[in-house]
């Protein structure tokens, strides 16, 4: 962004004229034919968090298109992606600013967006795909806008988490979205230990590069019989859902080099039976991989026991 601090430059001016012309032509054609999917109307000042497609470009609501067509300022995690989406739907950017706002500059850009809202502007924010703030930027910005007593509105729509939950075939009455597991092995195993006893369906995002490792950890920590659904490339051409136990899903992908985007949906855990021998065995297993404190926390959570009691037990098992 080259505009002076506190202001938004007219990013539309940077567009090559040919693209602007193309957009304007598309817009006027759509308007003329009465087929435009969106309506332009002035928006009240505030931040509009707009969900965008996770694969199929047509998975966007009419209201989201209206907001993208009408907002005074557009902000996006990836400006090229948003611009492309708007082109697909025939929405011209015109002379409106299109501002990059991502994990690395959100703190710097947020005050400028706040200032624009206090000056009466409407700002539409889209992350690269899906719903902003769901394992995506937007939270510091939304929190700052709320803290100033300004308006925050959502244009709800796609999110890979809900899309996966919908097709996984696992209970949806109670679920926990856990985002991405840590990439480092021991941290990932601790993370899974914490999730293991939760009596809710779990939803995790994962990279195809780490899918084999996390399934191996799921096998060790959640048990090979736990139900799981691996949901890949949702809403895209090669959408695939592999359902089964952890062991079955591991086997199904063992010989494959999985690519694309993946959500793991994991069936609910159960609080373990708390006889002394079972607790001690779990504690010994946890102590092999964790500090006394972490092991005590994980086991206390798993068996629904007071943490201090389990910590004392861990100390007496000869570890410090
Ligand atoms: N904000 C997005 C949302 O609402 O779903 C998520 C953004 S996060 C950076 C990207 C991760 O979401 C991917 O690594 C993958 O785990 C998941 N994801 C996104 N699109 C997906 C798709 N079409 N199919 C499966 N998983 C997807």
| Mean pLDDT, contiguous 10-residue spans, the chain (320 residues) | 49 47 53 69 98 98 98 98 97 97 95 97 98 98 97 98 98 98 96 94 98 97 96 98 98 96 93 70 84 85 82 76
135 within ligand 1 shell (Cβ under 6 A): yes
Residue 19 has a pLDDT of 57
Across 278-314, b (16+ Cβ under 10 Å) vs e yields ebeebbebbbebbebebbbbbbbbbbebeeeebbebb
229 within 8 A of 243, measured Cβ to Cβ: yes
What's the CA-to-centroid distance between 210 and ligand 1, angstroms?
Answer: 15
DSSP letter at 59 equals: -
Residue among 49, 53, 54 whose CB has most ligand 1 atoms within 8 A, to mutate: 54
Residue 159 Cβ contacting ligand 1 at under 6 Å: yes
Classify residue 33 by burial, with Cβ atoms within 10 Å: 0-12, 13-18, 19+.
Answer: exposed
Q: In the 8-state DSSP scheme, what is residue 273?
A: P
Neighbour count for residue 204 (Cβ, 10 Å): 24
The angle formed by the CA atoms of residues 126, 129 and 132, to the nearest 5 degrees, is 45
Give the per-residue pLDDT at 218. Answer: 97
Measured in angstroms, how far is the CA atom of residue 159 from the centroid of ligand 1? Answer: 7
Task: Please report the atom of ligand 1 found closest to the CA of residue 206.
Answer: 16
Q: What is the pLDDT of residue 20?
A: 55
Cβ(183)–Cβ(210) below 8 Å: yes
Confidence (pLDDT) at 32 = 44
Q: What's the 6 CA to ligand 1 centre distance in angstroms?
A: 32
Residue position matching structure tokens 């993370």: 191
Q: In this predicted structure, what is the pLDDT of residue 312?
A: 87
């Amino acid at each position: 962004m080259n505009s002076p601090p506190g202001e938004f430059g007219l990013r539309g001016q940077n567009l090559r004229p040919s693209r602007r012309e193309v957009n304007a032509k598309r817009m006027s054609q759509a308007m003329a034919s009465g087929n435009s999917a969106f309506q332009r109307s002035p928006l009240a000042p505030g931040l509009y968090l707009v969900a965008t497609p996770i694969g199929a470009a047509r998975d966007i609501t009419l209201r989201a298109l209206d907001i993208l067509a009408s907002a005074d300022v557009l902000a996006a995690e990836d400006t090229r992606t948003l611009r492309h989406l708007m082109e697909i739907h025939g929405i011209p950017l015109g002379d409106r600013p299109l501002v990059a706002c991502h994990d690395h500059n959100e703190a710097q850009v947020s005050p400028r967006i706040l200032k624009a809202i206090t000056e009466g502007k409407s700002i539409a924010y889209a992350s690269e795909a899906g719903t902003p703030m769901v394992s995506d930027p937007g939270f510091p910005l939304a929190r700052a806008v709320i803290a100033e007593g300004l308006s925050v509105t959502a244009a709800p729509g796609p999110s890979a988490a809900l899309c996966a939950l919908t097709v996984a075939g696992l209970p949806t009455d109670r679920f926990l979205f856990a985002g991405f597991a840590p990439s480092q092995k021991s941290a990932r195993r601790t993370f899974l230990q914490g999730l293991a006893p939760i009596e809710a369906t779990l939803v995790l995002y994962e990279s195809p590069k780490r899918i084999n490792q996390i399934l191996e950890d799921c096998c060790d920590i959640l048990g090979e019989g736990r139900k799981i659904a691996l949901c890949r490339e949702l809403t895209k051409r090669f959408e695939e859902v592999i359902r089964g136990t952890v062991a079955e899903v591991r086997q199904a992908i063992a010989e494959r080099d999985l690519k694309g985007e993946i959500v793991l949906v994991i069936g609910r855990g159960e609080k373990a039976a708390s006889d002394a021998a079972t607790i001690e065995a779990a504690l010994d297993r946890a102590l092999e991989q964790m500090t006394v404190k972490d092991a005590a926390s994980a086991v206390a959570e798993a068996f629904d026991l007071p943490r201090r009691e389990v910590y004392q037990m861990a100390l007496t098992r000869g570890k410090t």
